[in-house]
Structure 1
């Protein structure tokens, strides 16, 4: 079957796997406050005064929401074994089939246990795709475009959130359970497109090389990077680097997760895991899942869905600057700027709710998690700062959190290492999704303070310990950490804040703007 070599088209198909997560976020966010959902899963019975369905209590609703990231945690861990054995592309296709099965169960759910089972299965799929899509794109992308292309995963998530939210908004006018069954059924379609689209995509050239399929590996690099020319400078350089790394790694045994804790690997393991943990502790996904709670408390009442959609539009639009300029900005500055501004908006929201909110009147709000009421100008300020929080996350931590971890690891451990880092993302997503409804109920505005503290700490963690990886070939990034390899580039004694962005050199190589002596050297390394 003829394979497509346009790197942007390859990335656009692959990141549909990220879009599946976006579909889940907004389907829960838009549905949990609607009457059909509350009545179908009416654990608490009807309100004695209004006779309206009260739905699940805050702990159970947190568990329903958290079922998806709980399944994702397990899926992410398993994905490393699947990906290393059968390939990056095939593992993503398996994830798409599992998503279809989970969506069918969710769509047909008649009670809370059935809904939770469907969401766990969906989560297992998202865990596989969210871990292996960045690995696949990282291993197939040229260095100067890697950040942009992997960052498309976050853009796909934002599109998934927005599209599903408007589908749910339209279906909210339908009477009965069709109001949520139709959206949960339609979310199968992207998975079908992902499975079929990947049939026409090439496999990762680095995975092929590790399986001793050298001709196929070079053919993929020629197709994707050399525009069909196997003698292109970039193809020669990458084949030489891949061959050198693979031959070096042949001296080692098969990889286990325990290897990621060895002294020569623990630093980058810690960075990759914390990259994903911090991306959750920003509070962004919480804002997405439970935004209807926040806006209801801010006085928007039954008109909460449309204002909530504005933040999803902001999320889509403001992810675009990162796709265009993230490789030029570098990873470190992008993360630091994002953490600073998100901390600022969290502090403002905490202050507004602390000073101006009041306890809700009896039966004022349908959910006990809607534990504060704020009105007038302070309520508008809460809405504005919430939008600004999303605008700060979208071009910074959103795309970089998926781009950064796959860049840190050598080929031999990359599949399992990214799976471990992504599993940390889902473990904290699970905990926060379950924690936030009862936290809003019991801790009220202090929830914002908790996230502000996390953001303050992550700013300094990134500043002191996260090195720059933008525009560096993957094999060169390995050398930053690998002090034992002969001829490695050593940054011993160089603090993380002094590691620089090498964009100019990466662009020069891709243009073929190198001397004849350099080209001969690359060709000689490739022949070796």
Structure 2
């Protein structure tokens, strides 16, 4: 079958898997405040249209958390699945599972059926969110790896925005079609993903791991050599992969326990906490439950939905700078700046709500019990502005880098399982927060913002002292940095002294191997890596 070799086209198709997560986020955030949804799944005392209170707070948290709960399981399973059938087929299997989940969700007759369908959808998202970054990172050249892997986050933002407007338009339809239509339409991108993946090559590193060397070379030639197998970068990549596979062949079959061994535990903790911190930024408060936040700020009806959609547009636009420059900026500075800005807006919102807000009437604002605090006047506009600024700070920083960074940390033999473990941590905390936030708004109210502000402060300190720079380095060289006695050891040394190697990588990709070696200095060092 004809295969596409342009890395941008490959990434554009593969990242649709990330877009599925975005579709789910906004379909829930746009729908869970509509009267059609609140009345159909109502558990409160009022059944008159326009006064339904919807599911109980903890039940709504469970409905929302069902998807990340399924994603956690899918991410764990994907580590075994990807080593067995390959990166490409794993993503295709995920697309099929998503379509099955959409059938259950769109046809939901009760809360139990809705939760089951969201768990199935989540299983797909877990597979795709873990393995799409692995697949792209193993195909992308070093100078474009951050841009291409980070495009998964851009796809998520597009999915959020597109599905929000579909859900908003459907909200004007009478009856249950208001939420069944958008939930059914979620299947379309999964169908496109499955068809598109048929025309993409498999990861050359996975092929090499399976001793399919001719196929691995043909993929490298297609993607990096423009048909020339003798291109210097193709030859170097092939030799690096071959050397790594020969080294790894002396090791036993990989299990998740290997990630906890002394020579791997540091990298495991960095990858896992990259994903954990990305959730503890509080971004999901803004995505899943933005309707509650803006309701507390005095917005209702169509004004509420349109104002909520602005943050989704900001999310799409502000992700673009990261895609263009993250390989030059590096991972560390991007994460540090993001944490600093986000903690600023979270603490500001907490201060505004505490100073100028007051408890809402019994039953919450506009019959939404989770909107248990209200703020009016110019202070409410400041809360909305800080919310937008928070999204604008997350979008070019933790959003894309949390997907870019983990696949760069691990050697080939454990990469599939390691990224699956890191991604499973993302979904475990996503599940916890999705379940926790509605009751938190009811019980601790504005103090919810203080909690996430403290998390952002902690992640700033953690990144500064523990997260090394990986930008601009071939994946095999990143491995050498952790294991080569001639290279920098990140365990016990100063992570903040690591730097981006963008210029060296660019020279290698253009075939100027000798110039890159002379610029680095020691030929022995280059030979080692």
Task: Specify if TM > 0.5.
Answer: yes
1:207 alignment partner in structure 2: 206
* 1:453-487, Cα deviation, whole Å (9 max, x unpaired): 00000001000000000010101101122257xx6
Q: In the aligned structure 1, how far is the partner of 2:369 from the partner of 2:176?
A: 23
- Contact (CA 8 Å) 2:318, 2:396: kept in 1 or not? yes
**C-alpha contact (below 8 Å) 1:62/1:436 kept by paired residues:** yes
CA contact (8 A) 2:361 2:372 kept: no
Give the TM-score taking structure 2 as reference length: 0.96
Once the two structures are TM-superposed, the CA of residue 196 in structure 1 deviates from its matched residue by 0.4
Partner of 1:116: 115
How many Å separate the matches in 2 of 1:373 and 1:236? 63
Alignment of 1:422-461 (within 5 A): 422-461=423-462
Does the aligned pair in 1 maintain the 2:20–2:125 contact within 8 Å? yes
Q: Using the alignment, how far apart are the partners of 1:493 and 1:198 within structure 2?
A: 42
5 Å-filtered alignment, 1:318-357, equals 318-357=318-357
Kept in 2: contact 1:58–1:367 (CA 8 A): no
Shift of 1:47: 6.4
Deviation digits for residues 222-252 of structure 1, max 9, x if unmatched?
Answer: 1001111101111011111100000000000
* Residue in 2 that maps onto 1:130: 129
Give the direction of change, closer, same or farther, for the CA distance of 1:51–1:462 in structure 2 (3 Å limit). closer
Could you say which residue in structure 2 is the equivalent of 1:21? 21
Aligned to 1:72: 71
Q: Secondary structure at the match of 2:20?
A: helix
* Structure 2 residue 307 is the aligned partner of structure 1 residue 276: no
Gaps of 5+ in 1: none
Return the offset for 1:286: 2.0
Q: CA deviation at 1:385?
A: 0.2
Query: Aligned equivalents of 1:337 and 1:286: distance in 2?
Result: 20
Identify the residue that residue 367 of structure 1 maps to in structure 2.
368
Is the contact between residue 95 and residue 125 of structure 1 (CA under 8 Å) also seen in structure 2?
yes
Whether the 8 Å contact between 1:315 and 1:390 is mirrored in structure 2 is: yes
Judge conservation of contact 1:479–1:490 (CA < 8 Å) in 2: no
Q: Give the Cα separation in 2 of the matches to 1:161 and 1:221.
A: 34
- Structure 1 residues 516 and 456: CA distance shift in structure 2, 3 A: closer
How far is 1:362 from its partner? 3.8
- SS in structure 2 opposite 1:263? coil
Shift of 1:359: 1.3
Instruction: Check conservation: 1:467, 1:497, Cα contact below 8 A.
Output: yes
Q: Partner of 1:467 in structure 2?
A: 468
Q: Contact 1:41–1:112 at 8 Å: present in 2 too? A: yes
Partner of 2:9: 9
Q: Which residue in 2 is equivalent to 1:407?
A: 408
Aligned to 2:232: 233
Query: Deviations for 1:155-203, whole angstroms, at most 9, x for unmatched residues?
Result: 0000000000000010111000000000000000000000000000000
Name the CA distance, whole Å, in 1 between partners of 2:509 and 2:375. Answer: 55
Tell whether the 8 Å contact from 2:370 to 2:438 is kept in structure 1 after alignment. yes
Q: How many residues align?
A: 519
What TM-score, normalized to structure 1?
A: 0.96
**Following the alignment from structure 2 to structure 1, what is the Cα–Cα distance between the partners of residues 175 and 109?**
13
Structure 2: segments with no counterpart, 5+ residues: none
CA RMSD of aligned residues (A): 1.7
Following superposition, the deviation at residue 367 of structure 1 comes to 2.0
Report how far residue 489 of structure 1 moved: 5.8
Aligned position for 1:139: 138
- Partners of 2:134 and 2:416 within 8 A in 1: yes
Question: Can you list the C-alpha shifts for 1:61-80, whole angstroms capped at 9, x where unaligned?
Answer: 00000000000000000000
Runs of 4+ in 1 over 4 A off after TM superposition: 487-493, 516-519
1:518 is displaced (CA, Å) by: 6.7
Relative distance call for 1:378 and 1:232 in structure 2 (3 A) is same
Residue 358 and residue 135 in structure 1: after superposition, are their counterparts in 2 closer, same or farther (change >3 A)?
same
